[in-house]
Amino acid sequence: MTVAVHIRDVTKTFENTRAVDRITLDIAPGELFFLLGPSGCGKTTLLRCIAGFYTPDTGSISFDNRDITRLPPHERNTGMVFQSYALWPHMTVGENVAFGLELRGLPKADIRRRVGEALDMVRMGDRADGKPNELSGGQQQRIALARALVIRPLCLLLDEPLSNLDAKLRLEMRAEIRRICKEAGLTAIYVTHDQKEALSIADRLAILESGAIRQCGRPQDVYLRPNSRFVAGFIGETNLVDGVVRNATAGKLVVRTAFGDVTSTALTDESPANGTAVTLSLRPEVIRLGTPPAGTVNVFDGEIHDTNYLGEIAQHQVRLGPSGTEFKVFEMHPKFVARDHVERAQAWIDAADVIVLTR
């Protein structure tokens, strides 16, 4: 059974700090939803309000049509996975997973069957008799997942579950967590500050700052169409350039910047008028190097003065235009490598990739 999670106007304050500021959010049944943001933005506080560890000062939280705002944690039927695995070292793997079922007083035969199913789901069925200290970090996190899944929660809550793993294990466990949630049909809410973690496996994500949601949507929509300087700078890498709208016409803006005029066709319903101060967001991968296609409007003379060459990709530092404005540029299958010298090249940007921000 999966549930929709409805959060309405939730606020949580600690002394003089408003950690969660009037958040309203709907999470669909079976959705893998990420709360993403820098340290102190309120994402873990919101998760703990959903879990029942904190009670909101105002607002409500519901699972489907059931108000759980003031229910104690054990009456919500949520499973929680923490960044520390929180496994009992004196118990076997199977005993750790069974703990929640024993508290519920299930028959021993049912406990054995459900523990076996949960361990099989996380691909640890052969380690039931082992001790946690015999397992790697990734294996211990799988056991922590099994312990949360075995109670058959209505909602799975994950608080930075991969932060204690090395880079290789994090990559492996990202895919595993998505597989497990989808196979189990779980509604899952996942807190992280790792942008790539969120982009790679989320169905949708919300970016928080100062206790409020700044943007919510599918990963590709938030990445390609950020709605503010903060979101653009936080989710992935970007070049932020100040400018002023010189010419606003139907379907097109021309923005004057220090390195030249830039045309954008990536417009929204809030496209700014002539004379408006704006910020351009130019992702490093949308700035191309080499001969532009015929008819390209955003073409600039560039100087590549430093390159981090990684084989399949090169990360360049490029100065554009007469002002020498500095840009980060990513080139796939690189043809330019500037080390201890300057490479000259034309740089061009598709007008559809120029994001114009007014806040």
DSSP letter string, 292-355: PPTT-SEEEEEEEEEEEE-SSEEEEEEEETTTTEEEEEEEES-----SSS-EEEEEEE-GGG-E
Domain 240-357 in CATH 2.40.50.100: yes
pLDDT of residue 136: 85
Query: Average pLDDT of 217-242?
Result: 95
pLDDT of residue 172: 81
CATH class of 5-229: alpha beta
Q: Is the dihedral of CA 216, 222, 228, 229 positive or negative?
A: positive
Q: For residue range 95-154, what is the model confidence (pLDDT) as tens digits?
A: 898 988 888 888 899 988 988 888 888 888 888 889 988 988 888 888 888 888 888 889
Please give the span between the terminal C-alpha atoms of the chain, in angstroms, as a whole number: 41
Name the residue with tokens 């118990």.
91
More confident residue, 88 or 329: 329
What percent of the chain clears pLDDT 70, i.e. is strictly above it? 99
CATH 2.40.50.100 intervals, the chain: 240-357
pLDDT of residue 306: 94
More confident residue, 12 or 165: 12
Name the residue type at position 136: S
Is pLDDT above 80 for 269?
no
Query: Average pLDDT of 153-166?
Result: 87
What percent of the chain clears pLDDT 90, i.e. is strictly above it? 62
Is pLDDT above 80 for 85?
no
The pLDDT mean for the chain works out to 91
Is pLDDT above 90 for 262?
yes
pLDDT of residue 67: 97
Q: For residue range 283-306, what is the model confidence (pLDDT) as tens digits?
A: 999 999 999 988 899 999 999 999
Is pLDDT above 90 for 50?
yes
Q: In this predicted structure, which of 78-82, 85-89, 183-187, 297-301 has the lowest mean pLDDT?
A: 85-89
Q: Is the dihedral of CA 76, 79, 83, 88 positive or negative?
A: positive
Type and span of the H or E element at 32: strand 32-36
Q: What is the pTM of this model?
A: 0.89
Q: For residue range 231-244, what is the model confidence (pLDDT) as tens digits?
A: 999 998 999 999 99
pLDDT of residue 341: 87
